[in-house]
Structure formats: structure tokens, C-alpha cells
């Protein structure tokens, strides 16, 4: 039998009697149920809970960003195609029998000991992916290999490892708080400029919102995330790119300078100082002053295949209002 069978006895003793698939739960309840499940997986498999959480939330994020796969309807976010779950040659793609799923070399396993490998059961889904990881190993290097063999995409591996780093650092799942990028005590102005024409360097559209402010006004991280990029670009000048927990890339451009010791790989949270407003760009490194000082703020979403820009203006307005309520 599979290596998974060795920890079924424990799960039978400690599994929650409630199933949540298809039921409405509050956000707080969902976070707690997920964490309980991740911790049980860690206890029975020795796979760090933040690895399982990272995979689960990566999948949840891409399911919300795509139209070709169903949206999450349970507490967990991992999506496994029925044909993959039951086995490619299995004539019954909804077959819940663990023995026949194994016979047809399917992916699914019985995660809660109820005698069924149920594709619509949160516990079965999460333990099925844990079973895949166990075939490789639970240390970081083998976990990376397990991810690559499953997704066949370097970007997916990188994004999941970033999430694991964030979950491990903060020790919690709710990392969705946001902040406006400019402290509200400073003078600034902005309007919706996403999609406007830009001509320098060739015709293109404006992939962001410009927030006009004076030189040196602080620029803050809008999210919990990891600094993925820091450096010069002829269009954006001095820039910073931060990836949040939801696969969204937050782009800060035309900076006058960086916060002290800011570096690629650094963990940030809403309000962390990353730089200051400037007017750099539109030329070789160091070019400045070709336009009024402002922060160019852009957002890009990864859906498991590629990445695209979307309008940040509505979210900026929302975060600005939220920050005002906190004062």
C-alpha cells in the first residue's frame, strides 16, 4: 500500500467530525479550519505546515484568477482534475474507492479514514497532495523537486516557496491587510490613469496609477510580501517589486531612492518603508527630472500560466479609506 496508509490511524483518532466542503463559513472560521488541517498534516507526515499552506493558497489564488477551472467551494484551495484523481484509464471518473483509484494509478487517497477517496472532501484533497510530497521528501530541496514535478513551472515553484517563507515568518494565514503607499499626512493627488497612452520608448499603455507628491515623500509597502525586484529600468527608473500572498505583484517606480538595507528576498508588511517619491526614469541609470515627481504604482496578477496588469485605482481608493478609518 502507499506510504500514506501509515498515518491513517492517527488521523482517524484526531480528525474533526465536521466536513466543510460546500458549506458557508466565515473568513475567520475558514482560516482556523485550514490551520487545524495543516497542523494535523504536519503532525502525521512531518511536512511543515507552511509548505502545505503555501501550496493550498497558491492554488486558491489561481482558481480565482482563471475561468477554465472551478472556483474553490471548500475550505481548501487545491484543484485536482477528476481524471487525474481517479486515474486516466478508470472508467468511473467519480470512483471513490481507494482500491480502484490505486489500481488505475489515480492520484487520490482517503485522507480521513472514511473508506472513500472523495475528490470533494477537504481532508482527502489536502492529504492527497501531502502523499505526493512524501514520495520525494519533506526537506526544502525535495519539496522543491516535488513541486516542479507536479507543476512543471519554475515560476510556480518560486511563488509557493515565497508563500511558505511568509507563512513561516508571520506564523498565521491571514496576510491580506493592505496600506495606502503614501502616508496620509503628506500632500498627494492621484486619479485613474491606468490604460492611458504613453509615448516614450514606443507606444504603450500606462499600466498603473500615478500618485503625485513631493520629492522625498515616503513610499511604503502596500502588503505583506517579499521583495522580488529592486533596480533600474529605463522606463521606471529606480523600482521595487513586491509579491504578496495572493500571487499579485506590486510595482513601485520612479523612486528617488530606497530605504536603508532594502534587499531582494526581504519580507515586508503593510506600511514598511521601501523608498521615497522621485522622478527617475526615461533614460540611462540616474536619469531624473523629465517629469514631475510621482509614484507609479502598478499591480500584476499571476494565474499559473502568465501575468497581466490590472487597474489598481479602485484598490488604492479602498486602502486610502481604510487607512483614514484607522487614524
Establish if 268 belongs to a structural domain: yes
Nearest residue to 48 (alpha-carbon basis) of 36, 38, 56: 38
Cα of first residue to Cα of last residue in the chain, in angstroms, is 59
Same domain for 313 and 278, yes or no, is yes
pLDDT-derived band of residue 148, with 50, 70 and 90 as boundaries?
Answer: very high
Identify the three-state secondary structure at position 258: strand
Same domain for 142 and 272, yes or no, is no
Tally of domains in the chain = 2
> Higher-confidence residue: 11 or 136?
136
Residue 149 in contact with residue 157, Cβ under 8 Å?
no
Predicted TM-score of the model (pTM)? 0.88
Output the average pLDDT for the chain. 90
Angle between helices 122-134 and 27-45 (to 10 degrees): 40
Please state, in angstroms and as integers, the Cα–Cα distance from residue 97 to each residue in 18, 38, 172, 239, following that order.
21, 24, 35, 53
Residue 246 in contact with residue 176, Cβ under 8 Å?
yes
Identify the three-state secondary structure at position 101: helix
Same domain for 160 and 202, yes or no, is no
Establish if 305 belongs to a structural domain: yes
Mean pLDDT along residues 168-188: 97
pLDDT tens for residues 13-65?
Answer: 333 333 344 456 788 899 999 999 999 999 999 999 999 999 999 999 999 99
pLDDT-derived band of residue 195, with 50, 70 and 90 as boundaries?
Answer: confident
Establish if 99 belongs to a structural domain: yes
Angle at 322 between CA 167 and CA 26, to 5 degrees: 55
Residue 4, pLDDT above cutoff 70: no
| Domain extent at residue 202 | 188-326
Same domain for 221 and 114, yes or no, is no
Backbone φ, ψ for residue 33 (5° rounding): -65, -40
In this predicted structure, what is the pLDDT of residue 101? 92
Show the cell assigned to 5: 496508509
In this predicted structure, what is the pLDDT of residue 121? 94
Mean pLDDT along residues 288-310: 94
In this predicted structure, what is the pLDDT of residue 19? 38
Same domain for 197 and 297, yes or no, is yes
Establish if 177 belongs to a structural domain: no
Domain end position, chosen among 170, 201, 235? 170
pLDDT-derived band of residue 326, with 50, 70 and 90 as boundaries?
Answer: confident
Same domain for 14 and 157, yes or no, is yes
Residue 259, pLDDT above cutoff 90: yes
pLDDT tens for residues 202-240?
Answer: 455 778 899 999 999 999 999 999 999 999 999 899 999
In this predicted structure, what is the pLDDT of residue 25? 73
Same domain for 13 and 140, yes or no, is yes
Establish if 175 belongs to a structural domain: no
Least confident of 196-210, 245-259, 269-283, 305-319: 196-210
Please state, in angstroms and as integers, the Cα–Cα distance from residue 132 to each residue in 22, 81, 166, 254, 255, following that order.
25, 15, 23, 44, 44
Show the cell assigned to 273: 518603508
> Higher-confidence residue: 317 or 10?
317
Backbone φ, ψ for residue 310 (5° rounding): -140, 165
pLDDT tens for residues 125-139?
Answer: 999 999 999 999 999
In this predicted structure, what is the pLDDT of residue 197? 67
Mean pLDDT along residues 106-135: 94
Mean pLDDT along residues 261-285: 96
Residue 85, pLDDT above cutoff 90: yes
Amino acid at each position: 500500500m502507499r506510504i500514506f496508509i501509515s498515518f491513517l490511524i492517527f488521523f482517524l483518532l484526531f480528525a474533526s467530525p465536521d466536513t466543510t466542503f460546500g458549506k458557508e463559513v466565515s473568513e475567520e472560521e475558514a482560516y482556523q479550519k485550514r490551520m487545524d488541517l495543516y497542523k494535523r498534516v504536519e503532525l502525521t507526515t512531518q511536512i511543515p505546515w507552511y509548505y502545505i499552506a503555501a501550496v493550498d493558497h497558491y492554488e486558491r489564488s489561481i482558481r480565482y484568477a482563471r475561468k477554465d477551472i472551478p472556483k474553490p467551494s471548500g475550505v481548501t484551495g487545491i484543484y485536482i482534475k477528476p481524471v487525474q484523481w481517479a486515474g486516466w484509464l478508470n472508467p468511473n471518473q467519480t470512483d471513490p474507492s481507494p482500491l480502484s483509484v490505486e489500481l488505475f494509478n489515480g492520484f487520490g487517497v482517503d485522507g480521513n479514514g472514511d473508506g472513500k477517496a472523495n475528490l470533494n472532501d477537504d481532508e482527502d484533497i489536502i492529504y492527497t497532495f501531502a502523499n505526493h510530497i512524501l514520495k520525494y521528501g519533506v526537506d526544502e530541496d525535495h519539496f522543491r523537486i516535488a513541486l516542479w514535478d507536479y507543476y512543471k513551472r519554475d515560476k510556480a515553484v518560486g511563488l509557493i516557496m515565497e508563500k511558505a517563507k511568509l507563512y513561516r515568518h508571520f506564523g498565521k494565514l491571514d496576510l491580506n491587510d493592505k496600506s495606502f503607499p503614501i502616508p496620509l499626512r503628506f500632500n498627494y493627488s492621484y486619479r485613474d490613469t491606468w490604460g492611458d497612452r504613453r509615448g516614450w520608448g514606443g507606444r504603450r499603455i500606462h499600466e498603473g496609477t500615478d500618485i503625485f507628491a513631493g520629492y522625498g515623500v515616503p513610499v511604503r509597502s502596500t502588503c505583506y510580501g517579499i521583495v522580488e525586484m529592486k533596480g533600474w529600468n529605463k522606463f521606471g527608473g529606480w523600482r521595487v517589486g513586491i509579491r504578496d500572498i495572493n500571487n499579485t505583484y506590486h510595482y513601485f517606480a520612479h523612486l528617488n531612492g530606497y530605504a536603508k538595507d532594502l534587499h531582494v528576498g526581504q519580507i515586508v508588511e503593510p506600511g514598511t518603508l521601501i523608498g521615497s517619491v522621485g522622478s527617475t526614469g526615461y533614460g540611462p541609470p540616474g536619469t531624473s527630472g523629465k517629469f514631475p515627481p510621482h509614484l507609479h504604482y502598478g499591480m500584476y496578477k499571476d494565474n499559473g500560466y502568465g501575468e497581466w496588469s490590472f487597474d489598481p485605482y479602485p484598490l488604492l481608493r479602498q486602502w486610502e479609506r481604510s487607512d483614514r478609518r484607522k487614524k
